[in-house]
Amino acid sequence: MKKNPIVLIALGVLLIAVGGWMQFTGGPPKADPGLRQACEASMAERGADADLIAQCKEVA
């Protein structure tokens, strides 16, 4: 079964356009500071160590 090269080219151009659009609009949305603070407070209440609390920045 042959793949239609025009479909693959169109898909590639579409993916490049989406990547360019994300690059120029600032990429994915930033983390909400309120969510991060809630995560840190929750971890502190549970008695988590500093490494787990620092992961709240990455997760949020």
The reported pLDDT for the residue numbered 28 is 66
pLDDT of residue 34: 85
Q: What is the pLDDT of residue 1?
A: 46
- The pTM for the full model equals 0.45
Domain ranges, residue 43:
5-59
Phi, psi of 31 (to 5 degrees): -70, 145
pLDDT number for residue 27? 63
Below-70 pLDDT ranges, the chain = 1, 3, 27-28, 60
Distance CA 57, CA 49 (A): 14
Total tally of structural domains belonging to the chain: 1
